Every structure is written in structure tokens, then in C-alpha cells.
Amino acid sequence: MSPYKANPLLDAATVLVGWTNRSATRDTEQLFASGDVVRLNTKLDATLHFTLMVSHPGHNVAVEAQLELAPLLRDGTMGTFVGVATVAIPAEGGRVEAYISGKDIQLDAADQGNVDGASLCFARALVTPSTPEGMVVGLTATLPA
């Protein structure tokens, strides 16, 4: 047995707002905008915790980013989005990380009886009042051992 433990953190952030390069699963570059829905491979309500990372190099006003998540319903459709966290960055720019417990997220009441187990796999970030050039909003997750 190896004396080294595996790192439970994902190697890279899933981008919700910002530019992504070509990857093994996507053969083209892509720009994600505020409000774009991203389907995640990791069900966030099955994670020990996950991190919302928000950064921008500067803007003419302070910027807020709100993370919203929605479940995958039994019939394969997307459920109702619920707000999970909101972070603010001053006009000067910077980076903020918010740690969120996946098990503490409450689904919308209308969706609670229509899911099986962990189900939060749709995410979007809403940026207000506008998205600065160079802004990145992303997620990383820690899976339970």
C-alpha cells in the first residue's frame, strides 16, 4: 500500500463564467456568460464541501456573483434553481473563495419528492451588475472518502 493518500480535490475548477480552453471532453474553446447553465459530473449534494471561486482583474463598480444549483429530476429534466451563495468583489478586483457544505443545501419544496439520492448537478452563476472582462467564476469539490 502506498504511504501517500490521494488528494480528494478535483484537479481543476469547473468554469461557470469565463473562458475555457480546449480539453479532453470539449474540442473547442468556450466562453461561459452569466446565467449559462452548466451540467456537472459531480453531484454537489454528495460532496463533503465544495468551493465557489470568483475573481476579476478590476471593473468600474463592485461586482456580485450568485451561485444557483438545480437538481436532476427522476424524469431526466432540470428542477428549480436555488440560491446557495453570493460573494462580492470590489471594483479594484481580487479573488474570493466561499466554502459550501454540499449536504446542507436544501432543494426547492416542489422538487424534494421528485429526486433520488444526490441530485444537484446543474449550476449557474449570476453576475451583477455586469460581467467584467477577465472575470472567472468556478467550482471545485471535495468528495467524501
User: Which residues in the chain come in under a pLDDT of 70?
Assistant: 1-12, 23-26, 142-145
Helix (H, G, I), strand (E, B) or coil at 27: coil
Residue 143's pLDDT is what?
Answer: 57
Residue 142's pLDDT is what?
Answer: 65
Which residue has cell 480552453?
21
What's the farthest any 2 CA atoms get from each other in the chain? 54
Task: List the one residue out of 80, 68, 62, 69 whose CA is nearest residue 128.
Answer: 62
Contact residues for 48 (Cβ-Cβ < 8 A; gap 6+): 8, 101, 102, 103, 142, 143, 144
The domain at 14-142 falls in which architecture? Sandwich (2.60)
Residue 5's pLDDT is what?
Answer: 42
End-to-end CA distance of the chain: 17
Residue 6's pLDDT is what?
Answer: 40
Query: What is the average pLDDT value for the chain, to the nearest integer?
Result: 87
Q: Which long-range contacts (CB under 8 A, 24 or more apart) does 29-33 make?
A: 33/131
